[in-house]
Each structure stands twice: as structure tokens, then as C-alpha cells.
Amino acid sequence: MSPKKEVSHVSGDTTPNSLELAGPKFDKERTAQLLRKMDWNIVPFLALLYLLSFLDRTNIGNARLAGLEKDLGMTGLDYNVALGVFFPWYVAAEVPSNLMMKRTSPSLWLCIIMVAWGVCMTLMGLVTNYAGLLAVRMALGLAEGGLFPGVTFYITLWYRRHECGLRMAIFFSAATLAGAFGGLLARGISEMDGIGGKAGWAWIFILEGLATLVVAAGAKWIINDYPETATFLDNEERVEVVSRLKLDRTSLADEYHIKYFYNALKDWKIYVHMFITIGIYTPLYSFSLFLPTIVKNMGYTNNESQLMSVPPYVVACFCTITAGYLADKSGQRGLYMIFFCILSVVGFAMLISTDNPHVQYAGTFLAAAGIYPNVPMGVAWNGNNIGGSTKRAIGIAMHVGFGNLGGTIAAFVYRKTDAPRYFSGHGLLMGTTAMSCVLCIFMTWYLRKENARRDEAMREKGLTLDDYTEEMRVSEREKGDNATFFRYTV
């Protein structure tokens, strides 16, 4: 089987008539083989990119224990401010970055992003004063801002809606590996203290920045832009992937047009997801930036704290991937997010309710196991429910962008003056997670109700989803998720 027409791209999109497709042709076994082939060629490298990204933005927590504050003369809330200045620039980059990736190509744009943040990370190891640290942290935020929403959108260009969650979970699990790997790596690199006249914390920044640049050197040739142009697929496989996506996206518009940008801005459901996300990202960044400090204040040494911060991330990694698999398998996301929000609240309750270091340390496991799975699941849930690729690109960027403002809040959650118990910090994170839980309950209820309403309206016309012809679907292609045949993931 081969496409009857040449595939054409306009600003990175396949035009509506660029392929003549009769629908997916592969059987179950061959489809599974195709998905495995895609997984091995797409997901591991994306996970590596995010591992480097998360490592580079959060390694300042490890550098702090290696003498960063003392060497740069930082006092009071200086460290918290250095954390906080990263996030406004990170958020500001996200929507423009997704638009640029839409107008250029994923391989080119992601490569540019990587080079930019690798340079910033390396330069952070060369700063000699607090002002320099602030400047480079802001530049790093601007450079890194486009990666997470960009890769999340990129995954939706390859996989069907109920296949995205697991892939996003594997991609995001790199953040948990960054937490685990970062502690071990920082412990080793800090032993380079004094080499070349640089402190141990400076070498943490320099070596991890150089590692990013090495990977960026090959990114342009490793990343495949679109299924239609993928070099690892043959012609028959390319057509099959596009056919599967067309059937799953229900023939909705994929071309770029400014009206889809405004449609995203006017969709109230995206705003609810934005608040769900900030309630989850605030504890996410608080945890990743301050876990070594939290563990240290349980009564452990600096070196012990670096190493003891590793196991909670390992558990979080397992939970993230398992939750993504189960959610995809069941075709649901809301119930899983509610469960993990509750698990996280229990973890923070254990941290705030006792001074027993063993109970507190156990609480870090539950908090991590509850927070991390909800990050990829939340963005998959929102992305699943946005019809049309341009609106989806904007909606995901809005979702991730607003959520990352939680990083600015997180920078001031755990203050020196609140040590060692951090009552206000743990309490705040319990509150934000509980807010997300309530909003997830509301969205699950609303989406079920809306799907039922659409089913009933269709029955009144004597129709079912199977009765919709391609012509009927195409007539509503510009309506996005408001099309009568679109059904929400709950």
C-alpha cells in the first residue's frame, strides 16, 4: 500500500487533501509492531531531552548544598529569589515557542532550544556574583520554556488520543530520573571542588550544561518531524500512521489559522485545567527544588541528604509510568488524577504532622508518588479534549505555561525561617493539591455529563457515531471539540 498523492506540507501541516486514505489497514498484531517501532524511535530521545532539561533547571538545589550561597554571598531570601526569577521567563516562552515549532519544524526548533539552554547552563558555572546568577537563571528560563509544551504537542502528532498518556508518562518520568540521577551526579561532581579554580557547585553547572550541548549537536538529525516524512517508517507504515490519526482526530482541522488561537483563549475548560495544573506544579517544583534541604532538616548530613533524595524519585518514576499505562488502557484520566492527588495530600500530611524523621521520610515517598504521575496525565487529559492541532498546541502551552507559574510560588514555599518543620510550606502544598483534586472531580463530572448530552442529541436525530460519514465530519472540521461527533476523555 502506498499513498496515491505526494505528501505536501504547509507550515509543518499536512493539507486536508494531501493524502487519500481509506482508513487504517493493519491488524492488531501489526499495529502493535508499528507502535513499538514508533516508541523506540521517538520516546527515548524525548525522555533524554527532558532529563537534561529538568536536571539543568533543578540542579541549583544540589549546588546549594555544595556551597553556592556562601561563595556568592547570598543571604536571607536570595536563594528563593534566584529560584523564582526562572519561571516568569519560562512561562513567557511557552505559547510563542509552540507557535514557532508549528511554523518551522520540530527537529529544528527543539535543536535551537537545546543549544540555547545548554549555553546558559554552562555560563551559570562561570558566574562570580549573585547578580550574574540571577541574569543567567532568567535566560535559562527563556531558553527552556518551549521544551515541555513543545514535546507534549509533538507526541500528539504521532499517537492517537488514548496512546498519548503512556508516552507522555515515559517522557515525563525523565524528571523523576533527573531528581534521582541529579543527587548522585551532584555528589560525585562536587568532589571536583578546586579543580581549575572552580568550586564544586560551578562544575555541576558546567558539566551538565556541556552534556546538553553534546546531545543538541545530533538532535536535528535524530528527531523526525512528522509521520509523513519519518525516515524510520516505510511508505505503507507512514500512510497507516496518518490514517490512524485521521480516524482518531475525527477529521478535525489541522492547518494553522489565527482563529484557532482565539478559540483556545475562549475555551473555559482549558482555564480549569490551568488551575488544576498550577495546583500540581507548585508541589512538583517545591519538591524537586527543596527535597535535599527538607531531608537535611530531618537531621541528616549534606552528603546523606543528597543520596537520600534518590529513592523517592525512583518510586515516583515507577508510579508515573504505571499510571500512564493504566489510564491509556482504561481510556480514563480523571479518576486516576483524583487518586494521586489524595495520595499526595496524605504524604504532605505525614510531613507536617510529626517530627519523627522516619515518618517524615516515608511522607516524601507518598508525596512524590502522588505529584509526578499527575503532570503527564494532566497534560494528556487536556490535550485529548482539545480538537484541532493548532488549538491543541495553544491549549497545551496555556496549560503548561500557567502551571509553571507554580514554580515562582514554589521558590518561596520553603523558607529558612520555617526550618526545620516547614509547617507553612507543607500546609500550602496540601492546599494546592486539594484544590486540584476538587477541580478534577468537577471536570470528570462535567465531561461525563456533556458526553451523555451529545449522545442523547445524536439519538434524537436517529444517528450514532458510526453513522457519521466522512462528508458529515468534514462539514464540522472547523468546530474542533465542539463538533457534534467529538467525545471527551473523562
Which pLDDT value is given to residue 43?
92
pLDDT class for 251, splitting at 50, 70, 90?
low
pLDDT class for 480, splitting at 50, 70, 90?
confident
Which pLDDT value is given to residue 23?
65
Whether 227 contacts 248, CB under 8 Å = no
Q: Assess whether pLDDT exceeds 50 at residue 199.
A: yes
pLDDT class for 8, splitting at 50, 70, 90?
very low
Q: What is the mean pLDDT of the chain?
A: 87
Using CB atoms within 10 A of its CB, is residue 458 exposed (0-12), middle (13-18) or buried (19+)? middle
Whole-angstrom CA distances from 369 to 193, 347, 373, 405 are 34, 9, 7, 22
pLDDT class for 7, splitting at 50, 70, 90?
very low
Whether 13 contacts 255, CB under 8 Å = yes
Nearest to 53 by CA among 427, 404, 414, 457: 404
Whether 147 contacts 92, CB under 8 Å = no
State the average pLDDT over residues 347-352. 96
Give the whole-angstrom CA distance, residue 316 versus residue 176: 6
Which pLDDT value is given to residue 333?
94
State the average pLDDT over residues 196-216. 92
Helix, strand or coil for residue 202? helix
Query: In angstroms, how far is the first alpha carbon of the chain from the final one?
Result: 36
Burial pattern 332-342, b for ≥16 Cβ within 10 A else e, equals bbbebbbbbbe
Q: What is the CA radius of gyration of the chain?
A: 23
pLDDT class for 253, splitting at 50, 70, 90?
low
